[in-house]
Structure 1
Amino acid sequence: MAHAYVVGTFDTKGDELRYVAGLIRDAGHEVTTVDVGTSDAGERRADVAAADVAGPEAFTGDRGTSVAAMAAALERWLPARDDLDGVIALGGSGGTALVTPALQRLPVGIPKVVVSTVASGDVAPYVGSSDIALMYSVTDVAGLNRISRVVLANAARALAGALSGPPVDPGQDRPALGLTMFGVTTPCVTAVTEALDDEFDCLVFHATGTGGRAMEKLVDDGLVSAVCDVSTTEIADLVAGGVMAATEDRLGAIARRRVPWVGSVGALDMVNFGAPDTVPERYRDRLFYEHNPQVTLMRTTPDECRAAAEFLARGLNACEGPVRLVLPLRGVSALDVEGGPFADPAATEALVETLRAELRQTDRRRLVETDLHVNDPEFAARLVAELRAVSE
């Protein structure tokens, strides 16, 4: 028997939350209901009252400040539960924003389901780098009806099913290696994973902004032992305003945990936007490549390459663990090849020269230059050799 937490604003969505809790109990699991409503601190509507989660600051009478205070309180309270096997929450835009920061704090692998009215839009702020499963409510979460009963039942049974299955062997016989990959660096990362599969449990992350954050969250959580950061392209989006940007904390987890890091400058020749009509007006005269109808790639300029290199060097200079930055001087992506659409020697020179000048080399932090392309088999072999050397 597993233990599920059912979380929500019982002052406004009590019927729906109790319905979900009952279905999970019917499936054979223990349930604790948790109220995070802010309308009345004194009323007990669930097993855990709102006042048990938050202090007086969450009951100000002002919706905005109350919700923010309750969200912060739940973010502290929920991860501290030692009997939580899974969690489900329901909400509109406010309720979803209230509960999901706490769910993001829970370890990867704990089932997390949220039924939300905003699940069909931009869900990145709610999911972050966690494994939250969002289900669109179709109708508003405002009463039980012929639609909501079915949707909520599906969500409840999804959580119950996740809790009912036998434990999954995560395969922890090898240390975990985090790798970053983009479509234009796939041959390199594939070759690295094939070479290291017997030595490491290879976790490949798609470098879409969220992918890099997910990898570094696992590093921060102590779940990744080393990193092969082939595709640092999210930094280019950060400095140029693309849609797959890293945060300012990119490489922060590497510095904090001091894990071995071997990386490169994969796909720093491009900035990502959506469909062509989403490209900002200030960039309309730039060089573009249509990756697909929904992804437009913009070639980085020498100035943008310098800015990306400065960011990368600053992050690596803060790392006290072993660092090897391996440069492919003949191109950083499948588009950056001789005669290719993003071939730009001036931009490559700006990137390389800045890294040469800004990276502070020591016995533990080194710049390795190769006369190779990022997708050459020999380049992948060099990454593997450097990783083995720093992981000994």
Structure 2
Amino acid sequence: MIARWPSAPPALYKPVVTILTPAGKPKVMPEMTQPRILLIGTGDTKADELLFMSECIARAGGRTIMMDISVLGDPPYQAAHDKHAVAAAAQTTIEAIASSGDENSAMSLMAVGAANLAHALAERDAVDGVIAIGGTMGTDLALDVAQALPLGLPKLIVSTVAFSHLIPPERVAADLMMILWAGGLYGLNGTCTAVLSQACGAIVGAARSAIKPRKDRPVVAITSLGKSCLRYMVELKPQLERRGYEVVVFHTTGMGGRAMESIAAQGGFAAVLDLSLQEVANQLTGSVVNSGADRLENAGRAGIPQIVAPGAIDMVDFPAWLGVPNELSDRPFHAHNRLLASATSGSTDRQRIARAIAGKLSQASAPVAFVLPAGGIQQWDREGEALHDPDALAAFVDAMRSAIKAPVELHEIKDHINSAAFNETVLGIFDRWVAAGIVPRGRTTAAA
């Protein structure tokens, strides 16, 4: 049975959103009276759920645009973008997809079409938000759709495997929202309708409220690991802002690096200051606190100039609530909080990490400078601190010296990464690249 609202949707409201311009002057944003929400799902198997969601979207003041990703059956409604349109967007037919071999190959082809079609709709400003629903099959497809959409366009997946270990970090779009589809295996019930209605309200609200990223200044990314471990952002951010750049700082605890990589892959930065690489080290040593195998690769692939440093590569992170892994039980240890803890890697692992970093940087299609602070790479490796290991640090520095090859620039300093000398070195390289036209000039408030 399909749920129906007992009364018509309430009158649409027109919120007034006020933001401050770079000059500090208030600016009233244009009103959005009826957000257009692209709703994606398999209409042949989840028609009740999708029609219920469409009514929830209407009740929240939105307008639903259906995309049907069914393969074998047909929904009991007419989708604005039916399965034939999805197949055509993958440059094939639904008949060819249905006979492609198995359900995995069929849905993989539908994912290509759905992602291409959603991207085209976003490009021509035909949708204001996207929501998809599914189990593992629908979630697999929806993750591709989310990655094809631009940053700032609200995107939400209602999934039976939300937040699951089944989803690798490299599949997650930078600004993706997810909610667990509790009680959603088969048919409508009070538990799942509570989730579905909440999700629909969230995507309509997000579409109403979203302020798209500004494009009035070139954007520079910085990676860091809090202010206690790595402190350079405290100085670098205001310095770059004074030069006319918008600075976005990413917290390298797994998903922060993933977000940076996702935006870099879309060419979203004028330059990347990737100064905290412990997610690379985590991935190489088997830690779950990683950003995927392509960490430190997307900026170079997209032609974005990079200044790189090995911040915190000596730490292997793990969930604190699981206890210290057996293989790290004899290593120096630091508990950051009840969620995150770290132990240091030994000399052999650090040498392997150095070679991996150099290998990734060698593939870049734009200039790369590597700053090597021989005096230390995170706050707790100083003498007298819990993670001090001068022999392992020396082994890493030696390996890094040998591994970095031209055209990657190597800038070795004797100081610690949390020193003024490190900041001066990074800014010196950045300013030289601006003068040479490698990095576009910033735009100050007056110029903007």
TM-score, normalised via structure 1 length: 0.89
Kindly provide the amino acid, as one letter, of the partner of residue 363 in structure 2. A
Contact 2:43 2:76 in 1 (8 A): no
* Cα distance in 1 for residues equivalent to 2:345 and 2:119: 41
What's the counterpart of residue 200 of structure 2? 156
Q: Say if 2:139 is the partner of 1:96.
A: yes
The Cα shift of 1:78 comes to 2.2
Q: Say if 2:107 is the partner of 1:67.
A: yes
The Cα shift of 1:280 comes to 4.3
Tell me, which stretches of 5 or more residues in structure 2 are unaligned?
1-33, 88-93, 436-448
Kindly provide the amino acid, as one letter, of the partner of residue 9 in structure 1. T
What's the counterpart of residue 377 of structure 1? 420
SS in 2 for 1:10: coil
Contact 1:90 1:141 in 2 (8 A): no
What's the counterpart of residue 216 of structure 1? 261
The Cα shift of 1:37 comes to 2.2
SS in 2 for 1:11: coil
Contact 1:42 1:51 in 2 (8 A): no
Question: For residues 126-205 of structure 1, what are the structure 2 equivalents within 5 Å?
Answer: 128-140=172-184, 142-165=186-209, 168=211, 170-183=213-226, 184-198=228-242, 199-205=244-250
SS in 1 for 2:276: coil
Contact 1:16 1:141 in 2 (8 A): no
1:31 to 1:278, Cα distance in 2 relative to 1, 3 A: same
* Cα distance in 2 for residues equivalent to 1:123 and 1:385: 43
* Cα distance in 2 for residues equivalent to 1:104 and 1:192: 30
Contact 2:152 2:211 in 1 (8 A): no
* Cα distance in 2 for residues equivalent to 1:378 and 1:75: 46
* Cα distance in 2 for residues equivalent to 1:160 and 1:254: 32
SS in 1 for 2:371: strand
1:359 to 1:71, Cα distance in 2 relative to 1, 3 A: same
* Cα distance in 2 for residues equivalent to 1:298 and 1:109: 36
Q: Deviations over 1:18-41 (max 9, x none)?
A: 122123234444322111123326
Q: Say if 2:75 is the partner of 1:39.
A: no
* Cα distance in 2 for residues equivalent to 1:70 and 1:332: 46
Q: Say if 2:376 is the partner of 1:331.
A: yes
Contact 2:174 2:258 in 1 (8 A): no
The Cα shift of 1:62 comes to 4.4
1:243 to 1:151, Cα distance in 2 relative to 1, 3 A: closer
SS in 1 for 2:268: coil
The Cα shift of 1:182 comes to 1.0
Contact 1:228 1:261 in 2 (8 A): yes
* Cα distance in 1 for residues equivalent to 2:328 and 2:71: 45
Q: Deviations over 1:159-214 (max 9, x none)?
A: 2222334x626333321001111135431122211222222111111112332232
Q: Say if 2:39 is the partner of 1:6.
A: yes
Q: 1:229 aligns with which of 270, 274, 280?
A: 274
Alignment: residue pair count: 389
Q: Say if 2:95 is the partner of 1:56.
A: yes
Q: Which moved more, 1:198-207 or 1:47-56?
A: 47-56
SS in 1 for 2:130: strand
1:339 to 1:27, Cα distance in 2 relative to 1, 3 A: closer
Q: Deviations over 1:210-258 (max 9, x none)?
A: 3223213222212100011110111211221122234443332232233
Q: 1:30 aligns with which of 53, 59, 63?
A: 63
1:281 to 1:68, Cα distance in 2 relative to 1, 3 A: farther
What's the counterpart of residue 87 of structure 1? 130
What's the counterpart of residue 359 of structure 2? 314
Kindly provide the amino acid, as one letter, of the partner of residue 84 in structure 1. V
Measured on the aligned residues, the alpha-carbon RMSD in Å equals 2.6
Kindly provide the amino acid, as one letter, of the partner of residue 22 in structure 1. E
1:278 to 1:47, Cα distance in 2 relative to 1, 3 A: farther
* Cα distance in 1 for residues equivalent to 2:55 and 2:231: 50
Kindly provide the amino acid, as one letter, of the partner of residue 221 in structure 2. G
Q: Which moved more, 1:119-128 or 1:321-330?
A: 119-128
Q: Which moved more, 1:262-271 or 1:72-81?
A: 72-81
* Cα distance in 1 for residues equivalent to 2:399 and 2:213: 41
1:42 to 1:289, Cα distance in 2 relative to 1, 3 A: closer
Q: Say if 2:300 is the partner of 1:255.
A: yes
* Cα distance in 2 for residues equivalent to 1:355 and 1:252: 18
* Cα distance in 1 for residues equivalent to 2:70 and 2:152: 27
Q: Say if 2:74 is the partner of 1:21.
A: no
Q: Which moved more, 1:291-300 or 1:61-70?
A: 61-70
The Cα shift of 1:131 comes to 1.4
Question: For residues 355-366 of structure 1, what are the structure 2 equivalents within 5 Å?
Answer: 355-362=400-407, 365-366=408-409
What's the counterpart of residue 303 of structure 1? 348
The Cα shift of 1:320 comes to 4.4
* Cα distance in 2 for residues equivalent to 1:151 and 1:239: 37
Q: Which moved more, 1:303-312 or 1:179-188?
A: 179-188
The Cα shift of 1:44 comes to 6.3
SS in 2 for 1:292: coil
| Fraction of identical pairs, as percent | 31
Tell me, which stretches of 5 or more residues in structure 1 are unaligned?
none
Q: Which moved more, 1:19-28 or 1:205-214?
A: 19-28
* Cα distance in 2 for residues equivalent to 1:153 and 1:49: 24
Q: Which moved more, 1:139-148 or 1:101-110?
A: 139-148
